[in-house]
């Protein structure tokens, strides 16, 4: 077990951190609160601007 942690410890830690950040993001965007509305607004504005550049 010690050798596994020495070899893969950093990778395992990175996966755990990414999963935790993903869970926080899903929890923040799951509700129809301020964060979710602003995130949707930012994405809509970004893609609208990019579509305007293409025309």
- pLDDT tens for each residue of 6-34: 888 889 999 999 999 988 888 777 767 78
* CA nearest to 35, candidates 20, 19, 24: 24
Inform me whether the pLDDT recorded for 44 exceeds 80: yes
Q: Give the residue with greater pLDDT, 50 vs 31.
A: 50
How much is the pLDDT for 46?
Answer: 92
- Global pTM? 0.53
Helices and strands, number each (H, E), in the chain: 2, 0
């Amino acid at each position: 077990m010690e050798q596994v942690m020495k070899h893969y410890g950093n990778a395992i830690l990175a996966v755990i951190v990414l999963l935790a950040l993903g869970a926080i993001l899903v929890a923040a965007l799951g509700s129809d609160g301020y964060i979710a509305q602003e995130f949707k607004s930012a994405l809509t504005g970004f893609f609208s601007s990019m579509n305007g550049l293409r025309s």
